[in-house]
Amino acid sequence: MIPSFTDLASRIDHTLLRPDATRSQIVQLCAEAASAQFATVCVPPCYVRFAADELRETSVLVCTVVGFPLGYQITKVKFFEAHQALTDGAKELDMVMNIAAFKSGRLEEVEEEIGQLAELCHFKNALLKVIIETALLNEEEIVTACKLCASAGADFVKTSTGFASRGASLADIELMRRSLPSNIRIKAAGGIRTRVAALALLAAGADRLGSSNSLALLEENETPAL
Ligand SMILES: O=C[C@H](O)COP(=O)(O)O
């Protein structure tokens, strides 16, 4: 079933994570999110407090990133980053999994790190999304990463940072949905540019979408393209 405008908007994180993002662009992002009623604005950590202030009289939440975009920061650094973001007003954190440790077979360390951040988020009534960066993983690794995120207490598993060689694909979402328990949600992100692509990702099992082109996803009359 095709979601209504409001339902679709409520599944989107209106995202601006470019390194050259300015304060005035964050003001515009927040105004657009309030008007369209997106789920969150996803902003760089340095703008969390500012965005929370801009959105204080709206229902739009602030989301930010941790260990972004490469994921190989040590746990103490990620924990501090997460703690500061939550103190500044973030209600959702998109944390990059330690892909380097994962690829080295150090799965317990990866799970322990996610578990620490999940516990912190839940203590502060916030949600943790874990970015596994599917562009860097094969199918077996995607399945393993999903199971590890689920057992560590993540609320969502997210496909991509938007800074790797590719973003979310339908195949990623289908595989992730098959690999995750039904209570763990999926966020598709990276390169989602059209309403047709957005609807296909939702139909494949995504619960949330992250896009730096969110307004276009709400447009009804686009040229179909994936
Ligand atoms: O987390 C979300 C991504 O950074 C968004 O990627 P995008 O800029 O390709 O839409």
Give the pair of three-digit tokens for residue 60.
């739009």
15 pocket-lining for ligand 1 (C-beta < 6 Å): yes
Domains of the chain with CATH codes: 5-217 (3.20.20.70)
Tell which residue, 87, 94, 95, has the closest CA to residue 124: 87
Model pLDDT for residues 132-191, shown as the tens digit of each residue: 999 999 999 999 999 999 999 999 999 999 999 999 999 999 999 999 999 999 999 999
CA of 163 to the centre of ligand 1 (A): 7
The DSSP annotation for 57-68 comes to TSSPEEEEEEST
Mean pLDDT of 29-46: 98
Q: How far apart are CA 65 and CA 211, in angstroms?
A: 14
pLDDT value of position 226: 46
Query: Pocket of ligand 1, candidates 25, 29, 64, 160: which has the most ligand atoms within 8 Å of its Cβ, to mutate?
Result: 160
Q: Which residue has the tokens 């599917």?
A: 134
ipTM of the complex: 0.96
Model pLDDT for residues 80-139, shown as the tens digit of each residue: 999 999 999 999 999 999 999 999 999 999 999 999 999 999 999 999 999 999 999 999
Q: Which residues pair with 64 in a beta bridge?
A: 43, 93
pLDDT at 225 > cutoff 70:
no
Q: What is the atom index within ligand 1 of the atom nearest the CA of 69?
A: 4
Q: What is the mean pLDDT of the chain?
A: 96
211 pocket-lining for ligand 1 (C-beta < 6 Å): yes
